[in-house]
Amino acid sequence: MRFLEYYIEKAENPEAKDILESYYNKKREHVETLIEIFQDEGAVLPVGFTQKDVEPGAPRLFDEMFDIMHLRMITAINMGLLTVHLIRPILLFQPN
């Protein structure tokens, strides 16, 4: 999520910024749901990237097309991982 915050802050193209903000807002809802689940279960919240790990004042390295393509690749990876996690229980519990 931190990289998305950086991408959004540096975006100059309004269309690219809209795409990035839309994805960020959806993912933020998922993160908030996960935080609630962890807290309800009394589990320790994992520490991911924090604000200390990203320098918002750093200059851009790539243009917005890279940002969108990076986001697209992350989405494809997430869909693949979701598929694996949905199919795995089916494969594990098939009767012989």
Render pLDDT for 15-70 as a digit per residue (tens, 0 to 9): 988 988 998 998 888 888 988 999 999 988 888 777 787 787 888 888 888 888 98
Read off the pTM. 0.69
DSSP letter for each residue of 24-62: HHHHHHHHHHHHHHHHHHTPPPPP---GGG--TTSPPSS
* Run of H or E including 47: none
Q: Where are the domains of the chain?
A: 2-92
Question: What SS3 class is residue 70?
Answer: helix
pLDDT tens sequence across 72-91: 998 889 888 888 777 766 66
Angle between helices 14-41 and 2-10 (to 10 degrees): 160
70 alpha carbon, distance to own chain's centre: 11
Report which residue type is found at 55.
E
